[in-house]
């Protein structure tokens, strides 16, 4: 079935009690045994499993075309759970411009537990090849990256990983399975922050790991989920499953708005440069065209005039909300360097946009008025 159909139906099961069309929320933490002491209905204790979590996991596995998904209480919970499956001395190659939180846990937490991490520009394939060691267990990919919108060739990186006997994991948060299919490109593991596009309404925190195949990797991730316990609540699972139902249509609208706004910004005199994989001048536009169906709703752009001008434009926005995160129905504008600091490498004149579901004309009008006053002040 097509992804629109899967998004509506995957993970659903009939409600035998009342015939409810949408699933009930099982808040119970504990489930009853049968008279003979067994658990024929499948659930014992909600840290180990819960009907709403099962439904979400089945749905996410189905959307990505994987064997199984394992849900967590946040995207960072999912990322941490994956690295907890590794052992001291294992080597990880991670993107030099990984999501800020990924960099923090690898540098400041997992390094202390003996994980050996090399941060590499994954668009430089020779650099990736020479970073591989006999102990390399995983190459962690993120594409498009946050906030530089770099595009990593997943097929190439997966091939390098496999040649080294390692796996390729892909943070697919920005693209979602609607725009990009990491398993079809050779990835072995897909990670999501369901907080973003999958949930889609800025009202839940969640994360997931999806595996391509049944086996040892799934078992060890499941063990970390159940015993380390960073599990999502039944309500957050319910919200995520509800959000996913409209994901394919939302991603089209986010992408349509993204393309419109990016094109408009690229022609604006107050803008130094726009980073959007759908623009022909993006350095990896050809790779993006190959591995993405549409280019999504995330845009970064460099403002002429530095940090002060970037802050000023953000402060004048009315329809765009000044807020972090992404992937919801509201359009957001954010000065990334000031939220990532200290240690951020994001340029001070960069603004990041998450294009929501408002009409692109209204979004462009808002940016126009926010940038207006500057036009006369620059030469």
Ligand X SMILES: *Cc1c(COP(=O)(O)O)cnc(C)c1O
Binding residues for ligand X, rule: CB under 6 A, are 74-76, 99, 101, 142, 146, 171, 173-174, 193, 195-196, 205, 207
DSSP 107: I
User: 250 or 268, CB closer to ligand X?
Assistant: 250
The distance of closest approach from Cβ of residue 174 to ligand X in the complex, given in angstroms and rounded to an integer, is 6
Longest dimension (CA), the chain: 83
* Cβ-contact 34, 94 below 8 angstroms: no
Cβ neighbours for 78, distance < 8 A, ≥ 6 positions apart: 70, 71, 72, 191, 192, 193, 207, 208, 209
User: In this chain, which residue has its C-beta nearest to ligand X?
Assistant: 75
From the list 269, 276, 254, the residue with the least C-alpha distance to 363 is 254
The owner of tokens 């990736």 is: 128
Four-point Cα dihedral 243, 248, 253, 259, nearest 10: 120
The distance of closest approach from Cβ of residue 36 to ligand X in the complex, given in angstroms and rounded to an integer, is 41
The distance of closest approach from Cβ of residue 5 to ligand X in the complex, given in angstroms and rounded to an integer, is 27
User: 76 or 239, CB closer to ligand X?
Assistant: 76
| Local structure of 373: helix, strand or coil | helix
Buried b (16+ CB within 10 A) or exposed e, 44-81: eebeebbbbbbbbbbbbbbbbbbebbbbbbbbbbbbbb
The distance of closest approach from Cβ of residue 54 to ligand X in the complex, given in angstroms and rounded to an integer, is 20
Strand order in the sheet with 332-335: 271-275, 298-303, 350-354, 332-335, 321-322
d(CA 143, CA 288): 9
* Cβ-contact 66, 170 below 8 angstroms: no
The distance of closest approach from Cβ of residue 27 to ligand X in the complex, given in angstroms and rounded to an integer, is 22
The owner of tokens 């139906």 is: 9
The owner of tokens 């340029």 is: 347
The distance of closest approach from Cβ of residue 77 to ligand X in the complex, given in angstroms and rounded to an integer, is 7
The distance of closest approach from Cβ of residue 192 to ligand X in the complex, given in angstroms and rounded to an integer, is 8
DSSP 45: B
Q: What are phi and psi of 26, to 5 degrees?
A: -95, 90
Catalytic residues: 47, 99, 171, 196
């Amino acid at each position: 079935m097509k992804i629109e159909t899967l998004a509506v139906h995957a993970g659903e099961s009939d409600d035998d009690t009342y015939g409810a069309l949408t699933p009930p929320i099982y808040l119970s933490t504990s489930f009853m045994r049968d008279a003979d002491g067994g658990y024929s209905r499948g659930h014992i204790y909600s840290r180990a499993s819960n009907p709403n979590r099962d439904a979400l996991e089945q749905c996410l596995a189905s959307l990505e075309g994987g064997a199984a998904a394992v849900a967590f209480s946040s995207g960072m919970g999912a990322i941490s759970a994956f690295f907890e499956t590794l052992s001291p001395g294992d080597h990880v190659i991670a993107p030099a411009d990984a999501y800020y939180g990924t960099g923090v846990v690898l540098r400041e937490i997992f390094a202390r537990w003996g994980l050996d991490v090399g941060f590499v520009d994954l668009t430089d394939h020779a650099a990736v090849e020479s970073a591989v060691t006999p102990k390399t267990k995983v190459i962690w990919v993120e594409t498009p990256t946050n906030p530089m919108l770099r595009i990593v060739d997943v097929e190439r990186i997966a091939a390098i990983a496999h040649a080294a006997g390692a796996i390729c994991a892909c943070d697919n948060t920005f693209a979602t399975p609607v725009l990009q299919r990491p398993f079809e490109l050779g990835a072995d593991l897909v990670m999501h922050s369901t907080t973003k596009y999958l949930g889609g309404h800025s009202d839940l925190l969640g994360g997931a790991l999806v595996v391509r195949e049944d086996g040892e990797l799934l078992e060890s991730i499941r063990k970390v989920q159940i015993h380390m316990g960073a599990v999502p609540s039944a309500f957050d699972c319910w919200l995520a499953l509800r959000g996913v139902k409209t994901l394919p249509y939302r991603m089209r609208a986010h992408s349509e708005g993204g393309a419109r706004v990016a094109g408009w910004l690229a022609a604006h005199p107050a803008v130094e440069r726009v980073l959007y994989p759908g623009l022909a001048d993006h350095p990896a536009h050809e790779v993006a065209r190959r591995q993405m169906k549409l280019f999504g709703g995330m845009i970064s752009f460099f403002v002429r005039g530095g940090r002060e001008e970037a802050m000023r434009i953000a402060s004048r926005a009315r329809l765009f909300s000044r807020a972090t995160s992404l992937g919801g129905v509201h359009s957001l504008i954010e000065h990334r360097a000031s939220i990532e600091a200290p240690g951020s490498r994001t340029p001070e004149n960069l603004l990041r946009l998450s294009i929501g579901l408002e009409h692109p004309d209204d979004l462009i009008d808002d940016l126009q008025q926010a940038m207006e006053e500057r036009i006369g002040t620059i030469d």
